[in-house]
Structure 1
Amino acid sequence: MKNLLQALNPLKSILLIVVMCAASRANGQQVKPSNGGYAPVNGIEVYYEVYGEGKPLILLHGAFMTIEGNWAELIPELSKNRKVIAIELQGHGHTPFSDRKLSYATLAHDVEGVMDYLKIDSADVAGYSMGGSVAYKFAIQAPKRLKKLVIISSTYKSSGWLPEITNAFKYWKPGLFMNTPMKAAYDAIAPDKTKWTKFIGQMIAFAQEPFDFGDDNISKISAPVLIIAGDNDGLDKIELAKTYKLLGGGVSADLAPMPKSQLAIVPSQGHVSLMMQTTTVLTYLNNFLK
């Protein structure tokens, strides 16, 4: 029983994200998108919202989340001097469920498709958790369309997570997600509420499938990369240090040029609480993206 409860901790964390973000939205500054709707890409309709004016910045949310749930506290500040394009990935939020097989490659192509639809040649891209993995894949597949990359509490391979995280996914069942804040959020904005069970089943299968985009591909990313992680966010920090090394980091800047990529480890933060550190995350983002 103890092992099962430990395995369910990631699910509890996801639920906590939704609850905490819902509370922060009630108190946070609210802004309305200047544009938004659906982009027909790769056989599905992908929902997006546009805020502000300036150089484009694309935001990619985490698993089971929405634009509002993931980015509500950051968009008002980021959109003061940037054109922020927030996307809801397949089956999430306003984007309809599709029987199309979920893969990081396909989701990254969807991001390209939204850019094509909005006539955006290149952009900065920021992704959290699952969205960060999609962002890594986008950097590999469409290098000429990427200016700068921000990865928040994410990895490009399954082994980038601690074993207890990947093992926990084995215990996920659709029934665990019933009568949860996630279900309520889904019912509030999903185009077809009857697809909930299929959506959850698809996402569980996706989470349980091992992935690895390849060290060689990561080392070939030419765009500057900012990695933000909590010191206890579930990422294997040994693997994270290797990732930063692949991106040109981990040098002695007193003896060699400062690398163009950056690594920020935020103390006393987990996967959930990291995204609630609005001021800290925003400071890192603004300093890097400018």
Structure 2
Amino acid sequence: MMKKLLKPGNLIKLLLIAIIMTSASQSKAQQVKPSSSGYAPANGTQVYYEVYGEGKPIVLLHGAYYTIEMNWAQLIPELAKTRKVIALELQGHGHTPFSDRKLSSATLANDVEKVMDYLKIDSADIAGYSFGGHIAYQFAIQSPKRLKKLVIISAVYKTEGWVTEVAGIFKKMKPEFFANSPLQVAYDAVAPDKTKWNKFLEQMIALAGEPYNLGDANIAKITAPVLIISGDNDGMDKIELAKTYKLLGGGVAADMQPMPKSHLVIIPNQSHVSLMQQTKAIFGFMDSFLQ
């Protein structure tokens, strides 16, 4: 029975059940409407964005296969009380059209910069969850002058940052695992061309199957303060996470030297998916850090 549950297809189905629970929770969140929305030209494609609130800008980058609503519906109302929130949908996600353009973290990070150009934002705080956190790391490396502070939620900058089981699942994903899932329902609700669903999946699955490493040296060169938020059981290798924090200047004896400008938070009893439901905790840490 256990071996049957541990098959890749079944594990992904269990993950999708968790996402259904998250989606139900998000739908009960305080609803706010964007003050503006639209499409920004970016490297031969168009990237959908929504803007909420007023104040210092923060850009939100969602997880793989997610839409703005699925990922950020609970956090946006809190952040928008004091901040200008710009939420994007990356290539092929949500309202942003599918493109045959090859997916890469460098291209997607450059798309973020193009949206900022379009909205006349010189620099901003960047927050990314999961896949969006990977893109946020890439943005910090290639566009350091456009970044003020960085928030990484349950994301790694190299394949080795995940536990072995997670890395293995990435290599065994198939489009049929996602059929009629809440991810497909969310996609169908807003995608400009619903017929691109399978092509979008194939593109994302191909990217997920490629090992990646943005480089320890590049992470160590990030000068912006970084807040890392992780669940204790979210699939991230905590030994590698400790090494990441060390590269960012953390993990010191702060009684004997200055407190690091970067912070590390591990929220107990949380998985990769359930972590994003901890709105009060995540917002509290983000708000304190960004202040």
Q: CA deviation at 1:21?
A: 3.2
In structure 2, do the counterparts of structure 1 residues 13 and 263 end up closer, same or farther at CA, with 3 Å as the change threshold?
farther
CA distance in 1 between partners of 2:10 and 2:281 (Å): 25
Q: Is the 1:18–1:65 Cα contact (8 Å) retained in structure 2?
A: no
Alignment of 1:11-90 (within 5 A): 11-12=12-13, 14-90=15-91
The reply on whether 1:215 has 2:231 as its aligned counterpart is no
Instruction: Name 2:118's counterpart in structure 1.
Output: 117
Instruction: Name 1:5's counterpart in structure 2.
Output: 5
Q: CA deviation at 1:26?
A: 3.0
CA distance in 2 between partners of 1:144 and 1:28 (Å): 34
Q: Is the 2:13–2:177 Cα contact (8 Å) retained in structure 1?
A: no
Instruction: Name 2:150's counterpart in structure 1.
Output: 149
Instruction: Name 2:282's counterpart in structure 1.
Output: 281
Q: CA deviation at 1:9?
A: 5.9
CA distance in 1 between partners of 2:135 and 2:18 (Å): 20
Q: CA deviation at 1:11?
A: 2.2
Instruction: Name 1:126's counterpart in structure 2.
Output: 127
Instruction: Name 1:252's counterpart in structure 2.
Output: 253
Tell me the C-alpha RMSD between the 2 structures.
1.3
Aligned residues: 290
In structure 2, do the counterparts of structure 1 residues 13 and 266 end up closer, same or farther at CA, with 3 Å as the change threshold?
farther
CA distance in 2 between partners of 1:83 and 1:225 (Å): 19
Q: Is the 1:132–1:155 Cα contact (8 Å) retained in structure 2?
A: yes
Q: CA deviation at 1:13?
A: 5.4
Q: Secondary structure at the match of 2:273?
A: helix
Q: CA deviation at 1:8?
A: 3.9
Q: Is the 1:88–1:94 Cα contact (8 Å) retained in structure 2?
A: yes
Instruction: Name 2:238's counterpart in structure 1.
Output: 237
Question: Percent identity between the aligned chains?
Answer: 67
Q: Which amino acid aligns with 2:264?
A: L
TM-score (normalizing by structure 2) = 0.97
1:214-265 Cα shifts (integer Å, max 9, x gaps): 0000000000000000011000000000000000000001001000000001
CA distance in 1 between partners of 2:266 and 2:136 (Å): 19
Q: Is the 1:160–1:240 Cα contact (8 Å) retained in structure 2?
A: yes
In structure 2, do the counterparts of structure 1 residues 86 and 9 end up closer, same or farther at CA, with 3 Å as the change threshold?
farther
CA distance in 2 between partners of 1:12 and 1:84 (Å): 32
Q: CA deviation at 1:105?
A: 0.5
Q: Structure 1: any 5+ residue segments left out of the alignment?
A: none
Q: CA deviation at 1:33?
A: 0.2
Mean CA deviation greater in 244-253 or 173-182: 173-182
1:150-203 Cα shifts (integer Å, max 9, x gaps): 000000000000011011122211111112111111111100000011001111
Q: CA deviation at 1:208?
A: 0.5
TM-score (normalizing by structure 1) = 0.97
Mean CA deviation greater in 164-173 or 76-85: 164-173
Instruction: Name 2:179's counterpart in structure 1.
Output: 178
CA distance in 2 between partners of 1:13 and 1:216 (Å): 36
Instruction: Name 2:262's counterpart in structure 1.
Output: 261
CA distance in 2 between partners of 1:22 and 1:213 (Å): 31
1:42-65 Cα shifts (integer Å, max 9, x gaps): 000000000000000000000000
Mean CA deviation greater in 263-272 or 168-177: 168-177
Instruction: Name 2:271's counterpart in structure 1.
Output: 270
CA distance in 2 between partners of 1:220 and 1:10 (Å): 37
Q: Secondary structure at the match of 1:252?
A: coil
